Amino acid sequence: MIEVFAAFNRSLRDLTRREVLWHALWPPLLALVLWLVVGYALWAHGIDTMTRILPQLPWEGWEWVARWAAVFLLLAAFAVLVYVTAILLVAVFALPRLIELVAARDYPDLGRHGENVFWGSLGTTLGAGAIFLFGSLLMLPLLLIPGVLLVLPLAWGAWLNQRTFRFDALAEHATRAEMQRLVHENRSRFYVAGLATAAAAHVPLLNLLAPALTALVFVHLGLAALRRQRQQGGIEL
């Protein structure tokens, strides 16, 4: 997937720009601080809740296993909440500015023909985020199964990334018909980009920038595809 690789290269380059880096950092930092405060206030109650959810072990003296399993699941739940909150903040508040910066530099020729951009973006992000959050909380016990931790979060994160950002990246520039065609013709590229950015969210330090990196990758991937589509169709950019 040359297009996905090129989008990653351009996105990493963009993150070296000070104005881009600021919009990449504040959403995850705000989300982290918010959930650290909530986690500190509700930690004991959360541990008790997770302990009740977990199946009881039949062996005496193994209560510590359930205790550590509860701690792991609670930390995993808070990680999901931080990530979803950061994605929401990036998609709704930071992304419009990121698109403006990226489009001005790399896609100044593309006309903007989007409709109901803000409300469409908000609805898409909230809907995808709610499904992702609900599904993640239901699947938390599965993470205790050996091997599942390596596969399930990546697959589920890939779904969230492509479902949210394929729309947001194109909403300002593409018409509804253009967007439908782009999603249909580039579905595999969007999923590969979603999977790769989901993997980036599991890399220490890089995970702090993962929501913004995901947004930038989809902006480059989507706008480059829109440019090609208009050029091939003989449409004025």
Give a three-class secondary structure readout of 100-142.
HHHHHHHCCCCCCCCCCHHHHHHHHHHHHHHHHHHHHHHHHHH
The pLDDT value given to residue 20: 93
Q: What is the pLDDT of residue 195?
A: 94
Q: Are 35 and 78 in contact (CB under 8 A)?
A: yes
Tell me the DSSP string of 32-80: HHHHHHHHHHHHHHHHHHHHHHSPPPSSTT-HHHHHHHHHHHHHHHHHH
- Do 14 and 216 touch, CB atoms closer than 8 A? yes
- SS (HEC) of 153-193: HHHHHHHHHHHHHHHHCCCCCCCHHHHHHHHHHCHHHHHHH
Residue 118 identity (one-letter amino acid): F
pLDDT number for residue 119: 75
Token reading at 147: 């091997």
Q: Give residue 58's pLDDT.
A: 45
What pLDDT shows up at residue 138?
80
What is residue 90's DSSP assignment?
I
Can you give the pTM of this predicted structure?
Answer: 0.86
Listed as ranges, residues in the chain with pLDDT below 70 are 53-66, 116-117, 234-237
